[in-house]
Amino acid sequence: MSVVPVPRVAVIVVAAGSGTRLGAGVPKAFVGIDEHTMLRHALTQVLAGPEAQVVVVVPAGHEGTAQTDAVEAAGTRRDLVRVVPGGDTRQRSVSAGLAAVWPDVEIVLVHDAARALTPPDVFARVVAALDHAVGAVPVLPVVDTIKRVGGGEILGMVDRSELGAAQTPQGFRRDVLVSSYRVADTEYTDDAALVAAAGHRIAAVEGSPLAFKITTSADLERARALVAPLPPVVAGLDAAPALPRVGIGTDVHAFGDGPLWLAGLEWPGERGLSGHSDGDAVAHAIVDALLSAAGLGDIGAHFGTDRPEYAGAHADAFLARTRMLLGEAGWRVGNVSVQVQAQHPRFAPRRAEAEAVLSAALGAPVSVTATTTDALGFTGRAEGVAAFAVALVVPA
């Protein structure tokens, strides 16, 4: 028969306070940070630390609720967790927890459930320090300038380089903690003070800003912000414009009848393109790229065949309207780059002219390049024209 080894470490999680300063109407440990309570968060962090027996000390009558949190946090390791009722002071609650620690345990950590987000590495640092010390406490440097104050005036300076803010978990050799509790005849502010009063030296290890104690509603807000998932990225009119955004658009039109309009220019003598409007694939690719960059849908949504006013419309009408839509949504055009793939017309002689017309319509630089496709594909066979655009929009 195999014997499961008993951990040499126990963590007493004190959660029996009422939370007067938070004033939530329920004991503080059962207040939700997100969908999980403070206690559940604290236990998840404890169980991610060094292997340990976990004793949870809760207000009498709340053992059942605490047990549910404990089982959910521990999963398959639920045998490690035990819930006991606490006392009317923190010190009494720790004593009650101490009485439930398994006989073989050599090291006991005492931790406030109210420090619900304390990372597991703090537990590991405290346990490691107990190889060379009988007690260890995580501390954070004091960042504020500290003054001695009395009678409404500043009485003097305190050198903050000698100060540290004590956190939990505070760890001790079990025999030292038990004997210190036995001789304690007054209420101490923390376990380190109680053990030091019994004549023991306590080591300091590095604490964590995340080990802050949730005491007031401002602390609870901070904890909520820390565990909240990142807000979803919202596209479209609702999104608060912040960063520049890019978009891509393509369009294809087949050669048909009538005059050719392409890249905002009329091309006399060239075969025209078919389409609801003038078939200007270059302008349409630009519109799609811009709408996409701004998260405003696509050309069909704004200029579809159900919009008779755009039948036969030219590039300037499309681009001016697009620019307006972007402006209403808080964007302006950064620049646009568009490439035409076509066997004809030959763009080189009128490239600069096309850029000037399109840039004027958008109020932003538009670069136009053109290529043939080596006689390959539908553009190579001169069946139609394709255009590809990339646009950058920036918050207006």
- Give residues in contact with ligand CTP (CB under 6 A): 14-22, 28-29, 57, 86-90, 93, 112-114, 213, 215
How far is it, in rounded angstroms, from Cα 364 to Cα 289? 14
Residue written as tokens 């025209």? 272
- The most distant pair of C-alpha atoms in the chain lies apart, rounded to whole Å, by 106
Which is nearer to Mg ion, 17 or 384 (by Cβ)? 17
| Nearer to ligand CTP among residue 93 and residue 170 (C-beta) | 93
Closest to Mg ion by CB, 167 or 341: 167
Neighbours of 326 (CB within 10 A): 22
Residue 113 interacting entry, from Mg ion, ligand CTP, none, C-beta within 5 to 8 Å by type: ligand CTP
Nearer to Mg ion, 190 or 278 (CB): 190
How far is it, in rounded angstroms, from Cα 82 to Cα 365?
A: 69
Query: Strand, coil or helix: what is 114?
Result: coil
Q: How far apart are CA 336 and CA 263, in angstroms?
A: 13
- By DSSP bridging, strand 81-85 and strand 164-166 are unpaired
**Least distance to ligand CTP, CB of residue 59, Å:** 8
Residue 68 contact, options Mg ion, ligand CTP, none, Cβ 5-8 Å cut-off depending on partner type: none
Considering the complex, what minimum distance in angstroms separates the CB of residue 17 from ligand CTP? 2
CB of 114 to Mg ion, least distance (A): 9
Residue nearest to ligand CTP (CB): 17
Residue 216's SS3 state is coil
Report the distance separating Cα 129 and Cα 139, nearest Å: 13
112 binds, among ligand CTP, Mg ion, none (CB under 5 to 8 A by kind): ligand CTP
Taking the least distance from each CB to Mg ion, the nearer of 114 and 370 is: 114
Q: What sign results for the dihedral spanned by CA atoms 23, 25, 26, 27?
A: positive
d(C-alpha 39, C-alpha 31), whole Å: 8
CA proximity to 356, closest of 366, 347, 348, 346: 366
Give 279-339 as a DSSP string: --HHHHHHHHHHHHHHT---HHHHH-TT-GGGTT--HHHHHHHHHHHHHHTTEEEEEEEEE
Pairing mode, if any, of strands 107-112 and 245-262? unpaired
**Residue number, 166 or 394, with CB nearest to ligand CTP:** 166
User: Smallest gap, in angstroms, from Cβ of residue 389 to ligand CTP?
Assistant: 60
In terms of CB distance, is 216 or 274 closer to Mg ion? Answer: 216
Q: Which is nearer to ligand CTP, 65 or 322 (CB)?
A: 65
Side-chain half-sphere CA neighbours of 143 within 13 A: 2
Q: How far is the CB of 116 from ligand CTP (least distance, A)?
A: 9
Min separation Cβ 331 and Mg ion, Å: 52
CB of 94 to ligand CTP, least distance (A): 7
In the shown chain, the binding pattern of residues 358 to 377 toward Mg ion, with x for contact by CB under 5 A and - for none, equals: --------------------
Shortest separation between residue 149's beta carbon and Mg ion, angstroms: 23
Q: Which does 14 bind (CB under 5 to 8 A by kind): ligand CTP, Mg ion, none?
A: ligand CTP
Q: Is 188 helix (H, G, I), strand (E, B) or coil?
A: coil
Q: Answer with the entry of ligand CTP, Mg ion, none that 93 interacts with (C-beta below 5 to 8 A by kind).
A: ligand CTP
Instruction: Select from Mg ion, ligand CTP, none the partner in contact with residue 191, using the beta carbon and a kind-dependent cut-off of 5 to 8 Å.
Output: none
Exposure of 24 in the CB half-sphere (CA atoms within 13 A): 22
Q: Footprint of Mg ion on residues 8-27 (CB under 5 A)?
A: 17
Task: Give me the least distance between CB of 220 and ligand CTP, in Å please.
Answer: 12
Residue type, 191: D
Nearer to ligand CTP, 29 or 315 (CB): 29
Residue type, 149: V
Alpha helices in 114-173 (DSSP H): 120-129
The site for Mg ion (CB under 5 A) is made up of 17
